[in-house]
């Protein structure tokens, strides 16, 4: 097995503005919900992203479901970063502003839902599990040879099975300058083992101050936030084909079993669900 600590971490970007010129920027309009009438109930499309792409903040007149047929990307809504994978997608209600990062080589999927025909499954962004049935139905809607009656039946089944997932692959990013060094350390090395007490000493504050700031800005304590951040990195690594042992070590766990237990606590499912097959 190769030296996993020297393996580049494939964790998601936080969907902030690009810091170098090699990234392709895409600017899209800002629309209010229902601002434009659309000639469809559900419209699905696929795009192979050939270069690393930053999607500037935008919003759609339609509801949107985002996921990837291949690869892992991220979307940012407010201060929360969401993971997009082949098995977990993101429902974004019409009119909600969002931005995103999509790495080169990603096969990106998006489905738009007309607001006057499709009741929102949630009035806020939520994770959606891309079950095999849902994926097959959305694949079918991409065909331009689908008869109108068959399209209507397929759309009806899509709307019947589309529902929020019980768990979400998202992380609220704190904005306090106090927590910036912690966030940077975890982003650069999710296996960073610096304890809360050590961070407090380094930042010259009390552990209680760090805990209180994390709780107020993210809704999670230091340990919970750290575990969630690590699992976002883990999902990206699993999706690129790294083994469970490699991923476990790279995100700070000494065994695949301890990593698997932590992964289930955070995501509600097993790491194998995200393994590249």
Q: DSSP secondary structure string, 177-244?
A: GGGHHHHHHHHH-TT----HHHHHHHHTS-HHHHHHHHHHHHSS-HHHHHHHHHHHHHHHHHHHT--H
> Does 10 score more than 70 pLDDT?
no
pLDDT in tens, 237-249: 998 889 999 999 9
Question: How many Cβ atoms from other residues are within 10 Å of residue 44's Cβ?
Answer: 19
Phi/psi for 104 (5° steps) reads: -60, 140
Measured distance CA(207)–CA(217) in Å, rounded:
16
> Does 222 score more than 70 pLDDT?
yes
Confidence at 269, pLDDT banded by 50, 70, 90: confident
Report the pLDDT value the prediction gives residue 214, as an integer from 0 to 100: 97
Look at the block and give the residue holding tokens 């809704």: 219
pLDDT in tens, 86-101: 989 999 999 999 999 9
The total number of residues written for the chain in this structure: 277
pLDDT in tens, 13-60: 555 555 556 789 999 999 999 999 999 999 999 999 999 999 999 999
pLDDT in tens, 151-179: 999 999 999 999 999 887 899 999 999 99
Helix (H) or strand (E) holding 65: strand 63-70
With a pLDDT cut of 70, the percent of the chain lying above it is 92
Q: Tell me 119's DSSP state.
A: -
Q: Which two tokens stand for residue 51?
A: 């270069």
> Does 61 score more than 90 pLDDT?
yes
């Amino acid at each position: 097995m190769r030296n996993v600590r020297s393996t580049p971490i494939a964790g998601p970007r936080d969907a902030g503005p690009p810091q170098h010129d090699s990234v392709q920027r895409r600017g899209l309009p800002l629309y209010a919900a229902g601002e434009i009438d659309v000639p469809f109930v559900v419209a699905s499309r696929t795009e192979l992203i050939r270069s690393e792409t930053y999607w500037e903040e935008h919003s759609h007149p339609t509801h949107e479901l985002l996921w990837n047929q291949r690869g892992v990307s991220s979307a940012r809504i407010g201060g929360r970063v969401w993971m997009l994978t082949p098995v977990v997608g993101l429902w974004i209600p019409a009119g909600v502003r969002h931005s995103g990062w999509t790495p080169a080589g990603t096969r990106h999927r998006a489905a738009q839902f007309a607001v006057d025909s499709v009741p929102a499954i949630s009035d806020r962004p939520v994770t959606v599990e891309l079950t095999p049935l849902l994926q097959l139905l959305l694949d079918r809607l991409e065909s331009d040879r689908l008869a109108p009656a068959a399209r209507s039946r397929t759309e009806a089944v899509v709307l019947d099975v589309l529902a929020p997932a019980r768990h979400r692959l998202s992380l609220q990013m704190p904005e306090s300058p106090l927590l910036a060094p912690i966030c940077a350390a975890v982003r650069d090395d999710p296996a960073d083992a610096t304890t809360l007490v050590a961070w407090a000493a380094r930042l010259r504050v009390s552990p209680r101050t760090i805990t209180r700031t994390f709780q107020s800005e993210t809704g999670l304590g230091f340990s919970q936030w750290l575990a969630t951040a690590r699992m976002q990195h883990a999902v990206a690594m699993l999706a690129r084909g790294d083994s469970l042992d490699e991923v476990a070590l790279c995100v700070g766990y000494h065994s695949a079993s301890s990593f698997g237990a932590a992964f289930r606590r955070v995501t509600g499912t097993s790491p194998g669900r995200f393994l590249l097959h």
